[in-house]
Structure 1
Amino acid sequence: MLAIRVAAEPGAPGAVVLPVLIVDGEPGLPPIAYDLPDEARAEAAELLGDLDGEAGATRLLRRPLREPGQLLLSHAGSGDEAGWRAAGAAASRAFADEMSITVAMPLDVSVDAVRGLAEGLWLAAYRFSLSDEPAPERAVTVVVEQPERYADALAAARAVADATRLARDLTNTPSSLKNPAWFAEQVSAAAEGHAGLTLSVREPEQLAAEGFGGILAVGAGSASPPRLLELSWRPAGARTHVVLVGKGITFDTGGISIKPVDAMKLMRKDMGGAASVVAATVGAAALDLPVRVTALAPLAENLLSGSAFRPGDVVRHYGGLTSETTNSDAEGRLVLADALAYAVERLAPDLLVDFATLTGANAVALGKRTAALYSENDDLAAVFIGAAEEAGERAWRMPLPSDYVEYLGSEVADLFSAPDRGAGSVVAALYLREFVGDRRDRWVHLDMSAPSWSESADGVLPKGATGWGVRALLRWLAALPPSDALDGGQ
């Protein structure tokens, strides 16, 4: 655990972080709100020439038997929020074993700088553990001239980091513990601490009565029944309603279209979309954002058994559309289809966003750090991508070509669920678009399978689940105008 406070006085001496900023094209040590001995500052200045020029680069100076005993130069780039986030993450990793750290901030540093620094510190400090024993608490003191000026920025950084941690924990948990019922219990516990959050859970009987055929089909092969979670944040006076839908496959064997073992090992992460949307909704409540948010998490285990659905089966979704299930390993779109159709018919959102660890094609096209974004609305796509960039996450807009729609044609149903004709991520998005009705121009689909998981610790990302999209969603939600001021879906 990491406790961060903003104060005018340093914490226990020992490990001190000195920020480095680009000034007139060269790295330099700015005047700081900390009484650093002259010889220590001179020693630190001598290291500047050895410091890489990118934000997040560090150099450590050990000073045995002197105070402070360790000085870390942490590069904040040009001093924008992203640079400070990188500097905070680098300091968190460099001093991972130190119980007390002091960060000496520049004089009159901006509010955004403190928020970025704190986010970086918290995000990089994340560790997943199944142990019930609490981790030792580490203390970070951020030294500034006027601490009260930065209280709101620190609280916002904490809310974002906590929401990201929730998504990471949900995703990292092994599927021997995690099933649809467990996921619902965790979300219920997370929601309890926030007034204004309400949770409803549809169990199999209600799903059957209301016609959620996609969720029921995917969950039919498992002894752990499916669920549909609906988590709502409804602040007084909210004039915009956003529905977030997240794919929640708590483990994916591929069903009868079974995956190879290597492709199955990390399928505990196949509910990363559901984790991100529920965590972002909890974060919206923590930040008291003035926008109504509803998160829908269709949850199922896609297992192989005598009751599992088969390639060639026809599924009737919520609202009546039918799908010929050409591949039981393309199950995520079946549960999303139900939730999207329900959102449009019953919730009438101003804006509709879905998150899904949907296709490997996403990684082929864009690599491991960038999500594929689909939308028919130019402004909406641009604003969301911009919010993601500000938050330190990346998305790239992909096309929705009309001539590919014919790939979805089926002789026995309204749609093929997964036609095998290439362009996997694009065709999956076109399939989902069939379920958003009159919200096509207010809909965004994020295929975020690749960036939901990191193979190594790097910057703010831990090894394992990244919680991708929580920060982007919260940044985007915070900037939304009222629904009557939305122009083309922004």
Structure 2
Amino acid sequence: MLAIRLVSGPEWPDSLALPIRPAAAAEGGDAPAALSAGLPVPDDVLAEAAALVPAARATGRAGEVHVHLRPGRAPGRLLLAGIGAGDEAGWRAAGAALARTAGGETHLTIGLPGDASAEAVRGLVEGLLLASYRFRLTEAGERPALAGVDVLVTEPSRYADTVTAAEVTARMTHLARDLTNTPSSVKNPQWFAEQVEAAVADQPDLHVRVWQPDELAAEGFGGILAVGGGSASGPRLVELDWRPAGARTHVVLVGKGITFDTGGISIKPVAAMKLMRKDMAGAAAVVAATLGAAALRLPVRVTTLVPLAENAVSGSAFRPGDVITHYGGVTSETTNSDAEGRLVLADALAYAVAELKPDLLLDLATLTGANAVALGKRTGALYSDNDELAADLLAAIDAAGEAAWRMPLPTDYVEHLGSEVADLYSAPNQGAGSVLAALYLREFTGDLRGRWLHIDMSAPSWADGDAAELSRGATGWGVRGLLRWLGTID
């Protein structure tokens, strides 16, 4: 990961970036844009940079970067980076744009104004780290050249904790991206479980349990077994626990972990199947968020449940019309084996309610294509019956630079879940696919229904190209928002 240093007076750099603001944020508001005030750089450099802003027709828009060459002088390159309104989001966009613009450099120094807020520093560092991410299964090919960034501030110690939080967040987002990007020729339920075990091997405050297929059968996890029954790679259930001393609130996170989804007997077309290595992005996010909570020593107990299965086609695959008995005894009739994620989540939710009895319950899943139809590629769908919890989570997601929108849970839609041969019908063909999936999951939350949140995040889990702090491929969506949210819980 890109190395970030806080410095107060480095050797003069080859490349220096300075922030600029739009006219509305500039003193007097009568210029197209202006340098931020109080930058800790020599007056001659400041004067030249100030003259370049109008010459470059810079607007100061967040993420805009202008490059000026200064041959034979130090610094040899000046980068003028727009920070927009100067809030955390603006600085995050600036950091991401600088990481991409300076990709051919080995080192970059960024000057910050003396009154820079902690939020500005966090946004900048997260943008730099997230946008510099690249995934490679092998070592073939060239890697980005930028190896280090010095952040020039007047009081480095003031921002040390902020940089640590940003680095942990970025590192955990990278982990979720790595897990999700890994091809399914490598990634199966056993492999994923082993990655979690390896991640906690030297951390005594973290505990992990992995259910093998025979243990799942003995304890009645019928949904996980049904979905994983068609694959030569047997299913697993991972329970990861961060239990800090003195924690007063217990949060259970559940993440859908389908390591590849063919659709099963209800097989997907090729175009819809080729990226189904990402169908465990929810599992990757909740694992990474739990590891991040431990790294940050957040004072909240977090237990993560990851039901893992590969939904394959074979003679032992579950069929449309089968009746599945979930953990705790509730039965589901399914007529679509491509609606498999809710079946494994149902087991995990029922287990969490019966055995873990948390204060708050949240599940995160690449659950439906209807999420993208309703909200597009960048926004997750949030469901909850609790207005306060929903507002708190939405605020945390927004502050972290992700996006979600609260969706309804209409009471009159519940009748569509009725089955003549089972307790529930898992995949009603009534439209409103994301809503009905959420209503189905709610049936497994028991007396935690009023303290449950569900996020359908299939669309924002993947980026088709580089955009702001996102790199092409897995986005690690949810890690940043969950860490912010967990950090607000007492």
Both structures adopt the same fold (TM-score exceeding 0.5):
yes
1:66 to 42, 67, 73: 73
Letter of the structure 2 residue corresponding to residue 441 of structure 1:
G
Counterpart in the other structure of 1:485: none
Paired residue for 1:254, among 260, 263, 284?
Answer: 263
Q: 1:38 aligns with which of 30, 36, 44?
A: 44
Computed over aligned residues only, the root mean square deviation of the Cα atoms, in angstroms, reads 1.5
CA distance in 2, matches of 1:194, 1:101: 34
Alignment of 1:80-479 (within 5 A): 80-131=87-138, 138-479=147-488
Q: Distance in 1 between matches of 2:134 and 2:413?
A: 43
Q: Distance in 2 between matches of 1:474 and 1:118?
A: 16
Once the two structures are overlaid, the 10-residue window that deviates more, 184-193 or 148-157, is 184-193
1:211-267 Cα shifts (integer Å, max 9, x gaps):
000000000000000000001100000000000000000000000000000000100
Amino acid paired to 2:48: A
Q: Is the 8 A contact 2:231 2:317 kept in 1?
A: yes
> How far apart, CA to CA, are the structure 1 residues paired with 2:271 and 2:356?
40
Q: Quote how far apart the aligned CAs of 1:108 are.
A: 2.6
State whether residues 19 and 75 of structure 1, in contact with CA within 8 Å, keep that contact through their aligned partners in structure 2: yes
Give 1:308 shift. 0.3
The one-letter code of the counterpart of 2:37 is: P
Q: 2:26 aligns with which of 8, 19, 23?
A: 23
Unaligned 5+ segments in structure 2 are: none
Judge conservation of contact 1:388–1:394 (CA < 8 Å) in 2: yes
Pick which of 110-119 and 298-307 moved more: 110-119
Structure 2 vs 1, CA of residues 323 and 82 (structure 1 numbering), >3 Å: closer, same or farther? same
Change beyond 3 A, Cα 1:53–1:68: closer
CA change 1:12–1:61 in 2 (3 A) is: same
Deviations 1:358-411 (A, max 9, x none): 000000000000000000001111110011000001110000001111111111
Return the alpha-carbon distance in structure 1 between the equivalents of residues 313 and 198 of structure 2.
31
The residue aligned with 1:8 is: 8
1:61 partner amino acid:
H
Secondary structure of the corresponding residue to residue 47 of structure 1: helix
Aligned partner of 1:486 in structure 2 is none
Identity of matched residues, %? 65
**CA separation of 1:193/1:96 partners in 2, compared to 1, >3 Å: closer, same or farther?**
farther
What is the SS of the residue equivalent to 1:231? strand
C-alpha contact 1:20 1:76 (8 A) present in aligned 2: yes
Normalised by the length of structure 1, the TM-score is: 0.96
2:34–2:53 Cα contact (<8 Å) kept: no
In 1, are the aligned partners of 2:60 and 2:81 still within 8 Å (CA)?
Answer: no
- Paired with 1:223 and 1:251, the residues of 2 have a C-alpha distance of 12
Partner amino acid, structure 2, of 1:9: G
Seen in structure 2, the aligned counterparts of structure 1 residues 246 and 12 have a Cα distance that, compared at 3 Å, is farther
SS at match of 1:297: strand
Unaligned runs of 5+ in 1: 482-490
Distance 1:226 1:162 in 2: 28
Choose which of 56, 62, 85 in structure 2 pairs with 1:78: 85
Whether the 8 Å contact between 1:371 and 1:447 is mirrored in structure 2 is: yes
Distance 1:299 1:36 in 2: 57
Amino acid in structure 2 at the alignment position of 1:76: I
3-state DSSP of counterpart to 1:326: coil
2:50 and 2:108 map into 1 onto residues whose CA distance is 17
TM-score, scaled relative to structure 2: 0.96
Equivalent-residue separation in structure 1 for 2:45 and 2:99 (angstroms): 25
The whole-number CA distance in structure 2 between the counterparts of 1:33 and 1:74 is 13
Q: Which amino acid aligns with 1:203?
A: Q
Asked whether the 8 Å contact 2:380–2:459 carries over to 1, the reply is yes
Describe the superposition over 1:117-169 as per-residue Cα deviations: whole angstroms up to 9, x where unpaired: 11111011100011258966701100111111111011111110011011000
Counterpart CA distance in 1 for 2:298 and 2:51 is 43
Amino acid across the alignment from 1:28: A
Q: Matches of 1:469 and 1:352 in 2, distance apart?
A: 15
Q: Provide the rounded CA distance (Å) in 2 between the counterparts of 1:137 and 1:19.
A: 19
**Structure 1 residues 365 and 103 mapped into 2: Cα distance closer, same or farther (>3 Å)?**
same
CA contact (8 A) 1:332 1:358 kept: yes
Task: Verify the 8 A CA contact 1:350 1:442 in the aligned structure 2.
Answer: yes
Distance in 1 separating the partners of 2:310 and 2:378: 26
Preserved CA contact (<8 Å) 1:34 1:143: yes
8 Å CA contact 1:191–1:197 kept in 2: the answer is yes
Give SS of 2:476's match. coil
Report the 3-state secondary structure (helix = DSSP H, G, I; strand = E; otherwise coil) of the residue aligned with 1:140. Answer: strand
- Tell whether the 8 Å contact from 1:44 to 1:61 is kept in structure 2 after alignment: no
Superposed displacement of residue 67, structure 1: 1.4
Q: Given that residues 380 and 458 in structure 2 are in contact (C-alpha distance below 8 angstroms), is that contact kept between their aligned partners in structure 1?
A: yes
Q: How many residues align?
A: 481
Shift, 1:64, TM fit: 2.0
The worse-fitting range, judged by mean Cα deviation, of 66-75 and 221-230 is 66-75
Q: State the distance in 2 between where 1:9 and 1:429 align.
A: 54
Relative to 1, partners in 2 of residues 1:350 and 1:39: Cα closer, same or farther, differing over 3 Å?
closer
